[in-house]
Structure 1
Amino acid sequence: MPTEETQTRTGEAPRRPRIRLDQPLTPRRKLIPDYDPEAFGRMSERIARFLGTGRFIVWMTVIIIAWVAWNVAAPDALRFDTYPFIFLTLMLSLQASYAAPLILLAQNRQDDRDRVNLEQDRKQNERSIADTEYLSREVAALRIGLGEVATRDWIRSELQDLLKELEEQQRSVAKGEVFPGDGDRGRDVDDR
Protein backbone atom coordinates (compact mmCIF):
# COMPACT_ATOMS: atom_id res chain seq x y z
CA MET A 1 0.00 0.00 0.00
CA PRO A 2 1.57 3.30 -1.02
CA THR A 3 2.18 5.88 1.64
CA GLU A 4 1.31 9.55 1.44
CA GLU A 5 4.83 10.43 0.35
CA THR A 6 4.82 8.00 -2.56
CA GLN A 7 1.37 9.21 -3.56
CA THR A 8 2.52 12.83 -3.74
CA ARG A 9 5.67 11.86 -5.65
CA THR A 10 3.78 9.81 -8.20
CA GLY A 11 1.03 12.41 -8.59
CA GLU A 12 -1.76 10.26 -7.15
CA ALA A 13 -4.41 11.91 -5.04
CA PRO A 14 -4.15 11.11 -1.35
CA ARG A 15 -6.67 8.51 -0.23
CA ARG A 16 -9.27 9.31 2.33
CA PRO A 17 -8.90 7.55 5.65
CA ARG A 18 -10.91 4.40 5.87
CA ILE A 19 -14.17 4.82 7.80
CA ARG A 20 -14.89 2.15 10.36
CA LEU A 21 -18.52 1.14 10.38
CA ASP A 22 -18.26 -0.70 13.67
CA GLN A 23 -17.40 2.44 15.62
CA PRO A 24 -19.62 5.49 16.16
CA LEU A 25 -18.59 8.79 14.68
CA THR A 26 -17.39 11.53 16.96
CA PRO A 27 -20.07 14.21 17.34
CA ARG A 28 -19.53 17.40 15.40
CA ARG A 29 -19.73 20.81 16.95
CA LYS A 30 -22.96 22.62 16.19
CA LEU A 31 -23.59 26.32 15.98
CA ILE A 32 -27.13 25.97 17.29
CA PRO A 33 -27.47 24.39 20.73
CA ASP A 34 -29.45 21.18 21.04
CA TYR A 35 -32.89 21.33 22.55
CA ASP A 36 -35.63 18.86 23.30
CA PRO A 37 -38.48 19.56 20.86
CA GLU A 38 -40.97 17.77 23.09
CA ALA A 39 -40.09 19.89 26.13
CA PHE A 40 -40.17 23.04 23.99
CA GLY A 41 -43.58 22.02 22.64
CA ARG A 42 -44.96 21.42 26.14
CA MET A 43 -43.66 24.82 27.24
CA SER A 44 -45.23 26.51 24.21
CA GLU A 45 -48.55 24.84 24.98
CA ARG A 46 -48.43 26.13 28.56
CA ILE A 47 -47.66 29.64 27.35
CA ALA A 48 -50.39 29.49 24.68
CA ARG A 49 -52.84 28.17 27.26
CA PHE A 50 -51.96 31.10 29.56
CA LEU A 51 -52.21 33.64 26.70
CA GLY A 52 -55.75 32.46 26.04
CA THR A 53 -57.02 33.14 29.55
CA GLY A 54 -58.71 36.12 31.15
CA ARG A 55 -55.91 36.23 33.71
CA PHE A 56 -53.41 37.15 30.96
CA ILE A 57 -55.66 39.93 29.68
CA VAL A 58 -56.11 41.32 33.20
CA TRP A 59 -52.34 41.24 33.91
CA MET A 60 -51.54 42.76 30.52
CA THR A 61 -54.07 45.55 31.14
CA VAL A 62 -52.66 46.24 34.60
CA ILE A 63 -49.09 46.39 33.25
CA ILE A 64 -50.05 48.75 30.41
CA ILE A 65 -52.02 51.04 32.73
CA ALA A 66 -49.14 51.10 35.22
CA TRP A 67 -46.66 51.77 32.39
CA VAL A 68 -48.70 54.68 31.00
CA ALA A 69 -49.51 56.08 34.45
CA TRP A 70 -45.84 55.99 35.50
CA ASN A 71 -44.64 57.65 32.32
CA VAL A 72 -47.31 60.39 32.53
CA ALA A 73 -47.40 61.13 36.28
CA ALA A 74 -43.79 60.45 37.36
CA PRO A 75 -41.21 63.27 37.51
CA ASP A 76 -39.34 63.87 34.25
CA ALA A 77 -36.12 62.36 35.58
CA LEU A 78 -37.83 59.02 36.42
CA ARG A 79 -39.76 58.61 33.16
CA PHE A 80 -38.27 55.97 30.86
CA ASP A 81 -40.84 56.19 28.00
CA THR A 82 -42.34 59.57 27.09
CA TYR A 83 -45.72 60.29 25.50
CA PRO A 84 -45.71 58.46 22.17
CA PHE A 85 -44.76 55.41 24.30
CA ILE A 86 -42.47 53.98 21.66
CA PHE A 87 -40.82 51.57 24.11
CA LEU A 88 -44.27 50.26 25.17
CA THR A 89 -45.15 49.72 21.50
CA LEU A 90 -41.85 47.89 21.00
CA MET A 91 -42.52 45.65 24.03
CA LEU A 92 -46.06 44.84 22.86
CA SER A 93 -44.78 44.06 19.35
CA LEU A 94 -42.07 41.83 20.80
CA GLN A 95 -44.62 40.01 22.96
CA ALA A 96 -46.93 39.53 19.94
CA SER A 97 -44.07 38.36 17.73
CA TYR A 98 -43.27 35.60 20.22
CA ALA A 99 -46.87 34.78 21.16
CA ALA A 100 -48.06 34.13 17.61
CA PRO A 101 -45.52 31.39 16.75
CA LEU A 102 -45.94 29.80 20.17
CA ILE A 103 -49.70 29.68 19.67
CA LEU A 104 -49.23 28.22 16.18
CA LEU A 105 -46.82 25.60 17.55
CA ALA A 106 -49.33 24.65 20.25
CA GLN A 107 -52.08 24.39 17.62
CA ASN A 108 -49.89 22.19 15.43
CA ARG A 109 -49.19 19.89 18.35
CA GLN A 110 -52.92 19.73 19.09
CA ASP A 111 -53.61 18.94 15.43
CA ASP A 112 -51.06 16.12 15.60
CA ARG A 113 -52.72 14.72 18.71
CA ASP A 114 -56.14 15.00 17.07
CA ARG A 115 -54.82 13.23 13.98
CA VAL A 116 -53.42 10.38 16.09
CA ASN A 117 -56.68 10.11 18.04
CA LEU A 118 -58.68 10.12 14.81
CA GLU A 119 -56.47 7.36 13.39
CA GLN A 120 -56.88 5.29 16.56
CA ASP A 121 -60.66 5.82 16.48
CA ARG A 122 -60.73 4.79 12.81
CA LYS A 123 -58.78 1.61 13.55
CA GLN A 124 -61.05 0.85 16.53
CA ASN A 125 -64.12 1.34 14.32
CA GLU A 126 -62.65 -1.00 11.69
CA ARG A 127 -62.04 -3.65 14.37
CA SER A 128 -65.59 -3.18 15.70
CA ILE A 129 -67.05 -3.53 12.20
CA ALA A 130 -64.96 -6.65 11.56
CA ASP A 131 -66.07 -8.13 14.90
CA THR A 132 -69.72 -7.33 14.14
CA GLU A 133 -69.49 -8.92 10.69
CA TYR A 134 -67.84 -12.02 12.20
CA LEU A 135 -70.54 -12.30 14.86
CA SER A 136 -73.26 -11.83 12.20
CA ARG A 137 -71.80 -14.69 10.16
CA GLU A 138 -71.61 -16.87 13.26
CA VAL A 139 -75.24 -16.13 14.20
CA ALA A 140 -76.33 -16.92 10.63
CA ALA A 141 -74.40 -20.21 10.74
CA LEU A 142 -76.04 -21.06 14.06
CA ARG A 143 -79.49 -20.33 12.63
CA ILE A 144 -78.80 -22.57 9.66
CA GLY A 145 -77.45 -25.25 11.98
CA LEU A 146 -80.47 -24.98 14.26
CA GLY A 147 -82.77 -25.47 11.30
CA GLU A 148 -81.31 -28.97 10.89
CA VAL A 149 -81.39 -29.89 14.59
CA ALA A 150 -84.22 -31.97 15.92
CA THR A 151 -86.29 -30.02 18.41
CA ARG A 152 -88.03 -31.45 21.46
CA ASP A 153 -91.46 -31.06 19.88
CA TRP A 154 -90.38 -32.82 16.67
CA ILE A 155 -88.88 -35.74 18.64
CA ARG A 156 -92.01 -35.93 20.78
CA SER A 157 -94.25 -36.04 17.70
CA GLU A 158 -92.03 -38.72 16.07
CA LEU A 159 -92.11 -40.81 19.23
CA GLN A 160 -95.90 -40.46 19.46
CA ASP A 161 -96.23 -41.56 15.81
CA LEU A 162 -93.98 -44.53 16.50
CA LEU A 163 -95.96 -45.39 19.63
CA LYS A 164 -99.23 -45.29 17.66
CA GLU A 165 -97.72 -47.52 15.00
CA LEU A 166 -96.55 -50.01 17.63
CA GLU A 167 -99.98 -50.00 19.26
CA GLU A 168 -101.59 -50.67 15.89
CA GLN A 169 -99.19 -53.56 15.27
CA GLN A 170 -99.98 -54.99 18.71
CA ARG A 171 -103.73 -54.78 17.97
CA SER A 172 -103.18 -56.46 14.62
CA VAL A 173 -101.14 -59.22 16.23
CA ALA A 174 -103.77 -59.65 18.88
CA LYS A 175 -106.44 -60.05 16.20
CA GLY A 176 -104.15 -62.43 14.34
CA GLU A 177 -103.93 -60.35 11.22
CA VAL A 178 -100.17 -59.76 11.09
CA PHE A 179 -97.16 -61.70 12.37
CA PRO A 180 -94.94 -59.79 14.79
CA GLY A 181 -91.85 -59.93 12.54
CA ASP A 182 -93.56 -58.67 9.40
CA GLY A 183 -93.57 -54.98 10.32
CA ASP A 184 -94.88 -52.80 7.51
CA ARG A 185 -95.26 -55.56 4.95
CA GLY A 186 -98.85 -55.91 6.00
CA ARG A 187 -99.21 -59.64 5.21
CA ASP A 188 -102.12 -61.46 6.71
CA VAL A 189 -101.80 -64.79 8.44
CA ASP A 190 -103.64 -66.48 5.59
CA ASP A 191 -101.15 -65.30 2.96
CA ARG A 192 -98.45 -67.55 4.38
Structure 2
Amino acid sequence: MAPDRLDQPRELRRTLRPHYDPEAFGRLSERFARFLGTARFLVYMTVFIAVWVLWNALAPRTLAFDPYPFIFLTLILSLQASYAAPLILLAQNRQADRDRVQGEQDRMAGERNQAEVEYLTRELAGLRLAIGELATRDYIRSELEHLLDEIHASPDGRGRPETHSRDA
Protein backbone atom coordinates (compact mmCIF):
# COMPACT_ATOMS: atom_id res chain seq x y z
CA MET A 1 0.00 0.00 0.00
CA ALA A 2 1.42 3.38 -1.02
CA PRO A 3 1.85 6.07 1.62
CA ASP A 4 -0.72 8.88 1.65
CA ARG A 5 0.24 11.78 -0.54
CA LEU A 6 -0.83 15.22 0.49
CA ASP A 7 -0.96 16.52 -3.07
CA GLN A 8 -3.69 14.07 -4.09
CA PRO A 9 -7.22 13.63 -2.76
CA ARG A 10 -8.03 10.52 -0.80
CA GLU A 11 -9.99 7.76 -2.38
CA LEU A 12 -13.59 7.58 -1.30
CA ARG A 13 -14.16 4.75 1.13
CA ARG A 14 -17.42 2.89 1.33
CA THR A 15 -18.72 2.62 4.87
CA LEU A 16 -21.80 1.19 6.45
CA ARG A 17 -22.53 4.51 8.08
CA PRO A 18 -25.10 6.54 6.16
CA HIS A 19 -23.76 9.79 4.76
CA TYR A 20 -25.81 12.92 5.23
CA ASP A 21 -25.23 16.58 4.62
CA PRO A 22 -25.30 18.29 8.04
CA GLU A 23 -26.12 21.64 6.45
CA ALA A 24 -29.11 20.26 4.56
CA PHE A 25 -30.29 18.44 7.68
CA GLY A 26 -29.91 21.66 9.68
CA ARG A 27 -31.94 23.62 7.13
CA LEU A 28 -34.63 20.94 7.21
CA SER A 29 -34.76 21.02 11.00
CA GLU A 30 -35.06 24.80 10.97
CA ARG A 31 -37.96 24.65 8.51
CA PHE A 32 -39.64 21.98 10.65
CA ALA A 33 -39.10 23.97 13.87
CA ARG A 34 -40.39 27.11 12.17
CA PHE A 35 -43.52 25.20 11.07
CA LEU A 36 -44.07 23.84 14.60
CA GLY A 37 -44.17 27.40 15.87
CA THR A 38 -47.03 28.50 13.63
CA ALA A 39 -50.76 28.78 14.18
CA ARG A 40 -51.25 26.58 11.10
CA PHE A 41 -49.52 23.67 12.86
CA LEU A 42 -51.68 24.15 15.95
CA VAL A 43 -54.83 24.15 13.81
CA TYR A 44 -53.72 21.02 11.91
CA MET A 45 -52.83 19.23 15.14
CA THR A 46 -56.12 20.23 16.77
CA VAL A 47 -58.13 19.05 13.76
CA PHE A 48 -56.18 15.77 13.66
CA ILE A 49 -56.74 15.06 17.35
CA ALA A 50 -60.42 16.10 17.19
CA VAL A 51 -61.04 13.79 14.20
CA TRP A 52 -59.16 10.96 15.93
CA VAL A 53 -61.12 11.36 19.15
CA LEU A 54 -64.48 11.75 17.41
CA TRP A 55 -63.86 8.81 15.05
CA ASN A 56 -62.77 6.51 17.84
CA ALA A 57 -65.57 7.64 20.16
CA LEU A 58 -68.43 7.60 17.62
CA ALA A 59 -67.47 4.99 15.02
CA PRO A 60 -68.41 1.35 15.49
CA ARG A 61 -65.65 -0.69 17.12
CA THR A 62 -64.95 -2.55 13.87
CA LEU A 63 -64.11 0.75 12.06
CA ALA A 64 -62.18 2.42 14.90
CA PHE A 65 -58.44 3.04 14.46
CA ASP A 66 -57.55 1.34 17.66
CA PRO A 67 -59.30 -1.23 19.87
CA TYR A 68 -58.02 0.78 22.83
CA PRO A 69 -59.19 4.16 21.58
CA PHE A 70 -56.44 6.51 22.67
CA ILE A 71 -53.29 4.43 23.20
CA PHE A 72 -52.18 4.70 19.55
CA LEU A 73 -52.95 8.45 19.59
CA THR A 74 -50.75 8.80 22.68
CA LEU A 75 -47.99 6.88 20.91
CA ILE A 76 -48.24 9.12 17.81
CA LEU A 77 -48.12 12.30 19.92
CA SER A 78 -45.19 10.96 21.94
CA LEU A 79 -43.24 10.13 18.78
CA GLN A 80 -44.00 13.56 17.34
CA ALA A 81 -42.78 15.22 20.55
CA SER A 82 -39.68 13.02 20.76
CA TYR A 83 -38.62 14.09 17.27
CA ALA A 84 -39.76 17.69 17.55
CA ALA A 85 -37.74 18.51 20.67
CA PRO A 86 -34.28 17.63 19.27
CA LEU A 87 -35.07 19.25 15.93
CA ILE A 88 -36.12 22.45 17.70
CA LEU A 89 -32.93 22.35 19.78
CA LEU A 90 -30.85 21.85 16.62
CA ALA A 91 -32.57 24.83 15.01
CA GLN A 92 -31.94 26.92 18.14
CA ASN A 93 -28.27 25.94 18.16
CA ARG A 94 -27.90 26.93 14.52
CA GLN A 95 -29.62 30.25 15.24
CA ALA A 96 -27.33 30.82 18.23
CA ASP A 97 -24.30 30.17 15.98
CA ARG A 98 -25.62 32.67 13.43
CA ASP A 99 -26.30 35.19 16.20
CA ARG A 100 -22.77 34.71 17.54
CA VAL A 101 -21.25 35.33 14.10
CA GLN A 102 -23.53 38.33 13.54
CA GLY A 103 -22.61 39.70 16.97
CA GLU A 104 -18.92 39.38 16.17
CA GLN A 105 -19.42 41.16 12.84
CA ASP A 106 -21.43 43.89 14.59
CA ARG A 107 -18.70 44.29 17.20
CA MET A 108 -16.03 44.63 14.51
CA ALA A 109 -18.17 47.11 12.57
CA GLY A 110 -18.72 49.06 15.80
CA GLU A 111 -14.98 49.19 16.43
CA ARG A 112 -14.37 50.41 12.88
CA ASN A 113 -17.10 53.03 13.24
CA GLN A 114 -15.67 54.19 16.56
CA ALA A 115 -12.18 54.50 15.05
CA GLU A 116 -13.61 56.48 12.12
CA VAL A 117 -15.55 58.78 14.46
CA GLU A 118 -12.42 59.37 16.55
CA TYR A 119 -10.42 60.13 13.39
CA LEU A 120 -13.10 62.50 12.11
CA THR A 121 -13.28 64.18 15.51
CA ARG A 122 -9.53 64.81 15.45
CA GLU A 123 -9.79 66.12 11.88
CA LEU A 124 -12.67 68.40 12.84
CA ALA A 125 -10.72 69.74 15.82
CA GLY A 126 -7.76 70.40 13.52
CA LEU A 127 -10.00 72.24 11.06
CA ARG A 128 -11.47 74.33 13.85
CA LEU A 129 -7.99 75.33 14.95
CA ALA A 130 -7.02 76.15 11.36
CA ILE A 131 -10.19 78.17 10.83
CA GLY A 132 -9.49 80.07 14.02
CA GLU A 133 -6.27 81.31 12.39
CA LEU A 134 -8.04 82.40 9.18
CA ALA A 135 -9.50 85.82 8.71
CA THR A 136 -13.27 85.85 8.58
CA ARG A 137 -15.36 88.02 6.30
CA ASP A 138 -16.42 90.23 9.22
CA TYR A 139 -12.83 90.63 10.38
CA ILE A 140 -11.66 91.62 6.87
CA ARG A 141 -14.61 93.99 6.49
CA SER A 142 -13.79 95.71 9.81
CA GLU A 143 -10.11 95.98 8.85
CA LEU A 144 -11.02 97.51 5.47
CA GLU A 145 -13.35 99.96 7.15
CA HIS A 146 -10.58 100.84 9.60
CA LEU A 147 -8.17 101.43 6.65
CA LEU A 148 -10.77 103.56 4.87
CA ASP A 149 -11.15 105.63 8.01
CA GLU A 150 -7.37 106.06 8.15
CA ILE A 151 -7.30 107.09 4.46
CA HIS A 152 -9.99 109.68 4.97
CA ALA A 153 -8.29 110.96 8.10
CA SER A 154 -4.82 111.33 6.51
CA PRO A 155 -3.79 114.82 5.31
CA ASP A 156 -2.67 113.81 1.81
CA GLY A 157 -5.61 111.46 1.22
CA ARG A 158 -3.36 108.54 0.43
CA GLY A 159 -3.89 106.86 3.73
CA ARG A 160 -0.49 107.47 5.20
CA PRO A 161 0.42 110.30 7.43
CA GLU A 162 3.22 112.37 5.94
CA THR A 163 5.60 111.50 8.71
CA HIS A 164 5.33 107.80 7.84
CA SER A 165 5.50 108.21 4.08
CA ARG A 166 8.02 106.04 2.21
CA ASP A 167 8.16 108.40 -0.81
CA ALA A 168 10.23 110.97 1.01
TM-score band by shorter chain is: 0.7 to 0.9
TM-score for both structures, normalised by structure 2: 0.77
Q: How does 1:104-143 map to 2 (within 5 A)?
A: 104-143=89-128
Query: C-alpha separation between the residues in 1 aligned to 2:58 and 2:135?
Result: 102
SS at match of 1:72: helix
Shift of the 42–156 alpha-carbon distance from structure 1 to 2, 3 Å rule, reads same
What is the CA-CA distance between 1:108 and the residue it aligns to? 1.7
Confirm or deny that 1:85 pairs with 2:70.
Answer: yes
Instruction: State whether residues 48 and 102 of structure 1, in contact with CA within 8 Å, keep that contact through their aligned partners in structure 2.
Output: yes
For 2:51, the equivalent position in structure 1 comes to 66
Query: C-alpha separation between the residues in 2 aligned to 1:165 and 1:94?
Result: 104
Instruction: State whether residues 56 and 69 of structure 2, in contact with CA within 8 Å, keep that contact through their aligned partners in structure 1.
Output: no
What is the CA-CA distance between 1:65 and the residue it aligns to? 2.4
Confirm or deny that 1:102 pairs with 2:71.
Answer: no
Q: How does 1:1-192 map to 2 (within 5 A)?
A: 17-83=2-68, 85-159=70-144, 164=150, 168=154, 170=156, 178=163, 180-181=165-166
Instruction: State whether residues 56 and 65 of structure 2, in contact with CA within 8 Å, keep that contact through their aligned partners in structure 1.
Output: yes
Query: C-alpha separation between the residues in 2 aligned to 1:82 and 1:89?
Result: 13
What is the CA-CA distance between 1:161 and the residue it aligns to? 5.4
TM-score for both structures, normalised by structure 1: 0.69
Query: C-alpha separation between the residues in 2 aligned to 1:157 and 1:67?
Result: 96
Query: C-alpha separation between the residues in 1 aligned to 2:10 and 2:129?
Result: 68
The residue identity in structure 2 corresponding to 1:103 is: I
Which structure 2 segments of 5+ residues have no match? none
SS at match of 1:81: coil
Shift of the 132–43 alpha-carbon distance from structure 1 to 2, 3 Å rule, reads same
Partner deviation per Cα, 1:114-162 (whole Å, 9 max, x = no partner): 2233223222222222222111111110111112223344444555556
The residue identity in structure 2 corresponding to 1:51 is: L
Shift of the 169–104 alpha-carbon distance from structure 1 to 2, 3 Å rule, reads same
Residue identity over aligned pairs, in percent, reads 64
Instruction: Give the total of aligned pairs.
Output: 163
Which structure 1 segments of 5+ residues have no match? 1-15, 172-176, 184-192
Instruction: Find the structure with the greater CA-based Rg.
Output: 1
